[in-house]
Chains A and B, each alone.
Chain A
Amino acid sequence: SRRAMGRAMGLAGVLVGLFLVPAVLVSTSLRHGAPRAEPAPEPAERELASGAVPEDSLWPLPQWLRTSRRQLQLAPARFQLVHGAGSSAGPACGLLQDAFRRYYEYMFGQSRRRRGRRPLGARADPELSQLQVVIESRDPGCHSYPHLASNEAYHLTVTEPVAVLKANEVWGALRGLETFSQLVHEDDYGSFLVNESEINDFPRFAHRGILLDTSRHYLPLKSILTNLDAMAFNKFNVLHWHIVDDQSFPYQSIYFPELSDKGAYSYNHIYTPTDIRLVIEYARLRGIRVIPEFDTPGHTQSWGKGQKGLLTPCYSGEQPTGSFGPVNPILNTTYNFMTKFFKEISSVFPDAYIHLGGDEVNFDCWKSNPEVKEFMKKQGFGIDYAKLESYYIQKILNIVSSYDKGYMVWQEVFDNKAQLKPETVVQVWMENNYAHELSSVTGAGFTAILAAPWYLDYISYGQDWKKYYSVEPLNFPGSEKQKKLLIGGEACLWGEFVDATNLTPRLWPRASAVGERLWSNWNVTNLQDAYKRLTNHRCRML
């Protein structure tokens, strides 16, 4: 289980030399936001140790790190994580207080010795008594929600007698605490050690997400929370919650309770407002944004159970068949419903963005419906149903905009030429020629996130993490300006064949490969080194 590092990491006296891993040299003043990856100087030759070295289990690999062979000891009974002098955050910062306790548990929790009064033993190493956390920005962010422009950079100095973790905002402190906890290791005798080191770190991409699908299979709260923990271990910062879809509607709506009453698998398979709040707060405490996806107009079969008249009735000739298709785009009632529904969603979910879906709209049902056909004629759309789809989407986008939310959409919305606000985030998911799609999206001036090569629900035999690790998101034809528009990516775990019985082993540690790809420098690509670090990281996560 987490943090009982069975393998001796820093064997006394085995460490060799000074390690220098400059990937991108960063000035000591921490800049706001994640700097674009400048062409990095070639990393200096790393001296390979004959034994284990502390970086052997860092994941994701920090942007810049320097360690020495000098080790410091930590005494669980005395070691403390505290607010440092000059920090704009203090004991009132619940987020950090919670993090201090959590990371203390991770580091020493498995040790039965932490309560005992054990003499420092034979080690002559100096003691590290504290990690001081200093938040430098005037507004630390303790009580706010993380967002796309949050500053996740941090600077960690581990020397005696106290280590110092500096970050602009609490979000960087969370990332730094995770890294610090990865540096602390146990030797063969059970002593807790950490090597003197200095780390400068920040994420390469600002949007690093995991998609969970709670419609194909309901995921109990515990499952989601465990997953948020795992995300924090890997510095993921977005939970893309694909909460409803065709199969079931587990979201308990306040304005429209029938949606889940009729659309959920059962009353036991719902998320109450309290559940939602829990997830959002649990995520917030780990610096993770929760972006809900209410996918329309396709993928909405379950909506029709509790909201009669919302979906398009399909026809066979003159007669309705009794089955339904996508949301009916021609009725005012549809937009009245959506206005009220998204008002609720906008207030329940604090993130600045809502994902509106817009993928895989099957036009067959619309084509069969005489009223829809009539509407097409009236609007002058001809037989181009993509125009009808765009007509619908645009109205939804406007509704959501009016609530001051930004939106994310699947690529079809862009491909079918809907009129999008410039800050729209387009999620590229179709595997075929996704580099080309990235060019198109960013070429049209839109922000993009990449999911296409990272559909982790597509399992296969063997070490497929390597395939995910080897993706280079910026490998698409485009200008510097365009590359800047790719703000990150997501590992997706669609739920057709996933539920609480197999979610965790299926998602992790494969998603870790994506986590490093999105955080670390572009030149961190060595598979052997990654394998070494990932195997250690995985054991730690357990």
Chain B
Amino acid sequence: AENEQPWGTPCTQLLVFVATPGCDGFPSLDSKEGYKLSVSEGFLLLSADAVWGALRGLETFSQLVGRDENGTYYINKTEIVDFPRFPHRGLLLDTSRHYLPLRAILETLDVMAYNKFNVFHWHIVDDPSFPYESLTFPELSKQGAFNAMTHVYTASDVQTVIEYARLRGIRVIAEFDTPGHTLSWGPGAPGLLTPCYLGKDPSGTYGPINPILNSTYQFVTSLFQEVSSVFPDFFLHLGGDEVDFTCWKSNPKIRAFMKEMGFGEDYKKLESFYIQRLLDIISSLGKGYIVWQEVFDNGVKVRPDTIIHVWKNSMPYPQEMANVTKAGYRALLSAPWYLNHISYGQDWMAAYQVEPLKFEGVPEQKDRVIGGEACMWGEYVDATNLAPRLW
């Protein structure tokens, strides 16, 4: 009794056992993230099917280690069996409304790992700026970035992000949102955007991507060829949200096209026309795609393995989740998790209390909900306030 240690047996190692190799691969939607952690006297074992589970287990292990008031590190006897409820647990960062320096992105990836997030949804370009340095179309960032020297992501930056993420079991899903949200594409790709008209004359302003020109589809093909090879994940996010039809309506050539195609006055049909061709291009490149809910809402014909991203609150989102999954598509939930919409007090509770499967539907539908994403849109966010706003 005299020699009794205040703490039990000293532990010298955590053994990590991984059943299936895969150290050099990229995480995917099907990655196995389950792990078992066994801590007892003189024996600490973390076992997982795949390395991704080992990463999750390491994080948990690190959270179990405590320190007493004498500074001694300790851990309690523990048994843990863990696996994620949803396979897609994402975070959206917007680097177009405000440029985010590499460091801010990498720091975010670290904190994502602390919280077992596994998807970085990189909303990399949008109306205000185009920071993505394309090798096929260098003019896009040269003309479209806030500053072509300082506010861009070079090819090497992008690779840094992808590898940093991979080492943390995080997938990087890039979003090149079209045909709306593309104003910054215009300066570097003349002729890509629709010229808006005031009566008979061009007004000088531009709208969404011009869906009636062949050059558009050539451009899109080339760009996405590059994007598909740069970003290794199977999925690309293609956007497709908030397409404003005003500019299209004002353009006489477009109106003529609408007539030719028999679309009448239904510009949703024109939007679908574009999206469908885009989706075909992406498919032919061997990628899968995620789209914002408008693509589904507007009746675009999409492949059955499309993932629909539910973000709007105009209709109660559980209704949309029901509709999307009923139609057989997989769904991602973001609507209640727009973290850029700050408010006073402990608003984390509202986010926490969301139950993603709380909607009318049969079990098969519920199975189609693959997860969700917290979104940090960048209108009011940059490196000076990103971290405390997000975490």
A interface residues with partner B (beta carbon < 8 Å): 457-463, 497, 501-502, 504-506, 542
Asked if A497 contacts B387 (CB within 8 A), the reply is no
Given A501-B387, A505-B388: A459 touches B380 (CB 8 Å cut-off): no
Listed from nearest, the 3 A-B pairs whose CB atoms lie closest are A502-B388, A505-B385, A461-B341
A357 to B344 Cα, complex, angstroms:
24
Minimum CB–CB distance for B118 against chain A, Å:
25
**CB-defined contacts of A460 to chain B, threshold 8 Å:** 342-344
Minimum CB–CB distance for A256 against chain B, Å:
27
Size of interface on B: residues with Cβ below 8 Å to A: 13
Q: Indicate if B70 sits at the interface (CB-CB under 8 A).
A: no
A460 to B385 Cα, complex, angstroms:
14
| Chain B minimum-CB-distance residue to A503 | B388
**CB-defined contacts of B343 to chain A, threshold 8 Å:** 459-461
Asked if B344 contacts A457 (CB within 8 A), the reply is yes
Q: Indicate if B216 sits at the interface (CB-CB under 8 A).
A: no
A360 to B381 Cα, complex, angstroms:
35
What are 16 inter-chain pairs, A to B, with CB distance below 8 A?
Answer: A457-B344, A458-B344, A459-B342, A459-B343, A460-B342, A460-B344, A461-B341, A461-B342, A461-B343, A462-B380, A463-B380, A502-B389, A504-B384, A505-B385, A505-B388, A506-B388
Asked if B345 contacts A497 (CB within 8 A), the reply is yes
A542 to B341 Cα, complex, angstroms:
24
A463 to B379 Cα, complex, angstroms:
10
Q: A462-B380, A502-B388 are in contact. List 6 more A-B contacts (CB 8 A).
A: A459-B343, A460-B343, A461-B342, A501-B388, A506-B388, A542-B384
A504 to B389 Cα, complex, angstroms:
12
- Interface membership of chain B positions 368-391, coded 1 if the CB is closer than 8 angstroms to chain A and 0 otherwise: 000000000000100011011100
**CB-defined contacts of B340 to chain A, threshold 8 Å:** 461
Minimum CB–CB distance for A504 against chain B, Å:
8
Near A by CB (< 8 A), chain B positions 241-289 give none
B interface residues with partner A (beta carbon < 8 Å): 340-346, 380, 384-385, 387-389
A542 to B101 Cα, complex, angstroms:
15
**CB-defined contacts of B385 to chain A, threshold 8 Å:** 502, 505-506
Minimum CB–CB distance for A234 against chain B, Å:
16
**CB-defined contacts of A462 to chain B, threshold 8 Å:** 380
**CB-defined contacts of A497 to chain B, threshold 8 Å:** 344-346
**CB-defined contacts of A504 to chain B, threshold 8 Å:** 384
Main secondary structure on chain B at its contact with chain A? loop
A504 to B380 Cα, complex, angstroms:
15
A457 to B389 Cα, complex, angstroms:
14
A501 to B385 Cα, complex, angstroms:
9
Minimum CB–CB distance for A492 against chain B, Å:
13
Minimum CB–CB distance for A371 against chain B, Å:
38
| Chain B minimum-CB-distance residue to A463 | B380
Asked if A505 contacts B342 (CB within 8 A), the reply is no
| Chain A minimum-CB-distance residue to B380 | A462
| Chain B minimum-CB-distance residue to A498 | B388
| Chain B minimum-CB-distance residue to A542 | B384
Contact of B384 among A458, A461, A505 (CB under 8 A): A505
Minimum CB–CB distance for B189 against chain A, Å:
26
| Chain B minimum-CB-distance residue to A457 | B344
| Chain A minimum-CB-distance residue to B381 | A505
A505 to B388 Cα, complex, angstroms:
9
A505 to B343 Cα, complex, angstroms:
15
| Chain A minimum-CB-distance residue to B341 | A461
A157 to B132 Cα, complex, angstroms:
47
**CB-defined contacts of A461 to chain B, threshold 8 Å:** 340-343, 380
Minimum CB–CB distance for A68 against chain B, Å:
31
Minimum CB–CB distance for A8 against chain B, Å:
13
**CB-defined contacts of A459 to chain B, threshold 8 Å:** 342-344
| Chain A minimum-CB-distance residue to B343 | A460
A502 to B391 Cα, complex, angstroms:
11
A462 to B340 Cα, complex, angstroms:
9
Minimum CB–CB distance for A54 against chain B, Å:
23
**CB-defined contacts of B341 to chain A, threshold 8 Å:** 461
A497 to B344 Cα, complex, angstroms:
9
A159 to B200 Cα, complex, angstroms:
53
**CB-defined contacts of B384 to chain A, threshold 8 Å:** 504-505, 542
Minimum CB–CB distance for A494 against chain B, Å:
10
| Chain B minimum-CB-distance residue to A508 | B384
Minimum CB–CB distance for B350 against chain A, Å:
14
A503 to B184 Cα, complex, angstroms:
33
Minimum CB–CB distance for A20 against chain B, Å:
33
Residue from A460, A461, A497, A501 with most neighbouring chain B CB atoms (10 Å): A461
**CB-defined contacts of A505 to chain B, threshold 8 Å:** 384-385, 388-389
Minimum CB–CB distance for A227 against chain B, Å:
14
Minimum CB–CB distance for B213 against chain A, Å:
35
A460 to B345 Cα, complex, angstroms:
10
A232 to B75 Cα, complex, angstroms:
49
A459 to B341 Cα, complex, angstroms:
10
Residue from B340, B341, B388 with most neighbouring chain A CB atoms (10 Å): B388
Minimum CB–CB distance for B384 against chain A, Å:
5
| Chain B minimum-CB-distance residue to A505 | B385
A457 to B342 Cα, complex, angstroms:
12
| Chain B minimum-CB-distance residue to A500 | B388
**CB-defined contacts of A458 to chain B, threshold 8 Å:** 344
**CB-defined contacts of A457 to chain B, threshold 8 Å:** 344
Minimum CB–CB distance for B98 against chain A, Å:
12
**CB-defined contacts of A506 to chain B, threshold 8 Å:** 385, 388
**CB-defined contacts of A463 to chain B, threshold 8 Å:** 380
A463 to B342 Cα, complex, angstroms:
12
Residue from B340, B344, B385, B387 with most neighbouring chain A CB atoms (10 Å): B344
**CB-defined contacts of B344 to chain A, threshold 8 Å:** 457-460, 497
Minimum CB–CB distance for A424 against chain B, Å:
31
Minimum CB–CB distance for B301 against chain A, Å:
36
